[in-house]
Structure 1
Amino acid sequence: MIQPGLIVICGPTATGKSRLALHLAERLGGPILSADSRQVYREFDIGTAKPSREEQSQVPHHLIDICDPTETFTLAQFQQQAQELIAQYQAQGIIPLLVGGTGLYIKAVVQGLKIPQVGPQLELRSQLPDQTQSYGWLQQVDPSSAAKIHPNDRVRTLRALEVYYVTGLPLSQQQGRCPPTYPILQIGLDDQDLELHTQRIQQRTQVMIEQGWLTEIRNLMEQYGPKLPLLNTLGYQEMRQHLQHEISLEQAQDLTVIHTRQFAKRQRTWFRADPTITWLAASNPDWLVLEQVIDRFIRPL
Structure 2
Amino acid sequence: MPRLIAIVGATATGKTALAVELARRLGGEIVNADSRQVYRGMDIGTAKPTAAEQAAARHWLIDVAAPDEQFTLARFLDLANAALADIWSRGRLPIVVGGTGQYVWALLEGWRVPRVPPDRALRAELEERARREGVASLLEELRAVDPAGAAIVDAANPRRIIRAVEVTRATGRPWSEWRRRDAPSFEARIIGLRMERAALYRRIDERVDAMLVAGLVDEVRRLNAAGYGCELASMASIGYREVCEHLRGELTLEEAAARIKTETHRLARMQHTWFRADDARITWVEAGAGDLVGRAVAVVESA
TM-score range relative to shorter protein: 0.7 to 0.9
Deviation at residue 254 of structure 1 after TM alignment: 1.2
Deviation at residue 270 of structure 1 after TM alignment: 1.1
* Matched residue type, 1:217: V
1:188 maps to 2:188: no
Deviation at residue 127 of structure 1 after TM alignment: 5.4
Counterpart-to-counterpart distance in 2, 1:213 and 1:143? 49
User: Which residue matches 1:219?
Assistant: 222
How does 1:1-301 map onto structure 2 within 5 Å?
4-125=2-123, 129=127, 139-140=139-140, 141=142, 147=152, 149=154, 151=156, 159-191=163-195, 193-222=196-225, 223-272=227-276, 274-284=279-289, 287=292, 288-297=294-303
Deviation at residue 207 of structure 1 after TM alignment: 0.6
Counterpart-to-counterpart distance in 1, 2:135 and 2:254? 38
Deviation at residue 38 of structure 1 after TM alignment: 1.0
Counterpart-to-counterpart distance in 2, 1:129 and 1:65? 35
2:2–2:185 CA contact under 8 A, matched in 1:
no
TM-score (norm 2): 0.87
Counterpart-to-counterpart distance in 2, 1:21 and 1:98? 8
Give the number of the structure whose alpha-carbon radius of gyration is greater.
2
Question: CA offsets per residue over residues 96-126 of structure 1, 9 Å max, x none?
Answer: 1000011111111111111111123344455
Measured at CA, do residues 230 and 136 of structure 1 come closer, stay the same or move farther in structure 2, by a change above 3 Å? farther
Deviation at residue 78 of structure 1 after TM alignment: 1.1
Measured at CA, do residues 47 and 292 of structure 1 come closer, stay the same or move farther in structure 2, by a change above 3 Å? same
Number of residues of Structure 1 aligned to a counterpart in Structure 2: 292
2:4–2:93 CA contact under 8 A, matched in 1:
yes
Counterpart-to-counterpart distance in 2, 1:270 and 1:143? 29
Structure 1: give runs of 5+ residues left out of the alignment. Answer: none
* Backbone CA RMSD of aligned residues: 2.5
Deviation at residue 165 of structure 1 after TM alignment: 4.6
Counterpart-to-counterpart distance in 1, 2:169 and 2:68? 24
Measured at CA, do residues 41 and 198 of structure 1 come closer, stay the same or move farther in structure 2, by a change above 3 Å? same
Deviation at residue 157 of structure 1 after TM alignment: 5.8
3-state SS in 2 of match to 1:220:
helix
* Structure 1, 246-255 or 222-231: larger mean CA deviation: 222-231
1:74–1:119 CA contact under 8 A, matched in 2:
no
Structure 2: give runs of 5+ residues left out of the alignment. Answer: none
TM-score (norm 1): 0.87
Counterpart-to-counterpart distance in 2, 1:39 and 1:194? 24
Counterpart-to-counterpart distance in 1, 2:237 and 2:41? 14
Counterpart-to-counterpart distance in 2, 1:68 and 1:290? 34
Counterpart-to-counterpart distance in 2, 1:43 and 1:69? 8
Measured at CA, do residues 238 and 111 of structure 1 come closer, stay the same or move farther in structure 2, by a change above 3 Å? same
Counterpart-to-counterpart distance in 1, 2:45 and 2:80? 23
Deviation at residue 136 of structure 1 after TM alignment: 5.0
